[in-house]
Structure 1
Amino acid sequence: MNSDVAIALKKVGFEEKLIEEIIQFGRLKKVKAQNVVISPGSKNEEVPIVLSGLLMVMTKDHQGNEYFLYNLEGGETCAMSITCCLEGKKNAFYVIAEEDSELWMVPLGHMDTWVQKYLSFRKFVFGSYQTRFDELLAAVDSMAFMKMDERLYKYLLDKKQATGSYVIAKTHQQIANELNTSRVVVSRLLKKLEKEDKIEQKRNRIEIL
């Protein structure tokens, strides 16, 4: 198993010595689809690096409305998780596995050392911050300036990009929750996209044409 982890970490661009230390001090965590990886209000002592699968990062406002923030794919980590760990704060977000996923959990105590000691790890952490910041700006821009039908189609295209599949295995209610709208609105707009030959709907899944 460690050889598979080493191969995955090497693809990220880590040095051999760093990979050895990450394997030595980290641990494997397997998560089934739809299971919670990080809960809101919790404190973490570990930061996940995604080896395989797909995670979804969500947040809630004070009224309990849910908002989709971004996905985490293989070779990525959660910058928000790193920040909460380093500052000892409780998580204001939560992470759910969209697919069966394998994570390598990195203990917080070694991260400061690795950032100073290894250039590749420093680039990895800072690059994660930049990527997540860009995605959050895109999410804010989408909510503020795009019509709901444009947001929905962008959401579907983003899911295709993240999963590498033209088939989106989501119910109308799940999509509505992630876009903070109603199932009725999502169903109506999906029918509109289907009439425009952009998608094809099947039971609990949507195919992008």
Structure 2
Amino acid sequence: MHKTLDHFAEKFESELVEEINHLGQVRRYKAGKVLIDFGSNVTDIPLVLSGAIKVVREDRQGRELFLYFLGGGDTCAMSLTCCMNQKKSEIKAIVEEDAEVIMIPLHYMDGWMKYTSWRQFVFGSYNERFEEMLNAVDSLAFMKLDERLMNYLLDCKQSAGDFTIRKTHQQIATDLNTSRVVISRLLKKLEQEGQIELHRNMIEIL
């Protein structure tokens, strides 16, 4: 068994883990790599072994909106949906931190539904990603931008497992669909409130 399949060995029957190990292709990606792009044909399901992947949505004006992060032990429910419905991708998945991913060809998905653990994993993934998307919608509709920003920073911390976030103000502004100037002002406000400490291209959550 691939040594990094530990996340899934805890979730799946041993027979399914063996199938994943035998049929899946382990791939390693550097930060910044686009794993799934808007409008692409999704033919493989990604199971994240390690690292972090950011999933974003695009509006009609081509602006990107951050939805959620994927970490070790996760899969992307929206890519599952696109695969099963043979639709082009409606999301972009970008490697946030160097990642190791095992890619499973689509045609194995239906056969694996015989495994109780796989069914629970798929439905659980749908539920988790749906809740995260609802949170993204709620933050847009009901939260002030400074609250959205702090939630975003906490999501980054949880995804990376590190209180230090290595992002530029422009990268954060792009994810939150606003301007760099606004983000810089709000980050300074959060620093004055003692919630973060700013460094060059780096933010530390206190």
What range is the shorter-chain TM-score in? over 0.9
Q: Does structure 1 conserve the Cα–Cα contact (< 8 Å) formed by 2:38 and 2:89? A: yes
**1:33-86 deviation line (CA, Å, top 9, x unaligned):** 011101111101100000000000011101111100000010000000001011
- Do the aligned partners of 2:48 and 2:73 also contact (CA within 8 Å) in 1? yes
- Paired-residue identity, %: 56
Aligned residues: 206
- Letter matched to residue 101 of structure 1: A
Gaps of 5+ in 1: none
* Pairwise CA RMSD: 0.9
* Residue identity matched to 1:3: H
SS where residue 98 of structure 1 aligns? strand
Q: TM-score scaled by structure 2? A: 0.98
Is 1:139–2:132 an aligned residue pair?
no
Tell me, in whole angstroms, the C-alpha distance in 2 between the residues paired with 1:71 and 1:157. Answer: 11
The CA deviation string for residues 77-120 of structure 1, in whole angstroms up to 9 with x for no partner, is: 000000101111000111000000000001110110101x1000
1:82 counterpart (56, 80, 83): 80
1:152-167 alignment runs, 5 A limit: 152-167=149-164
Say if 2:190 is the partner of 1:193. yes
Q: Is the 8 A contact 1:5 1:23 kept in 2?
A: no
TM-score, normalised on structure 1? 0.96
CA drift of 1:5 comes to 3.9
Q: Which residue of 2 aligns with 1:125?
A: 122
1:41-52 equivalent positions in 2, closer than 5 A: 41-52=39-50
| Partner Cα separation in structure 2 for residue 163 and residue 150 of structure 1 | 20
Q: Which runs of 4+ in 1 moved over 3 A?
A: none
Q: Aligned runs of 1:79-118 on 2, under 5 Å?
A: 79-115=77-113, 117-118=114-115
**Letter aligned with residue 76 of structure 1:** D
Instruction: Give the 5 Å matches for 1:50-69.
Output: 50-69=48-67
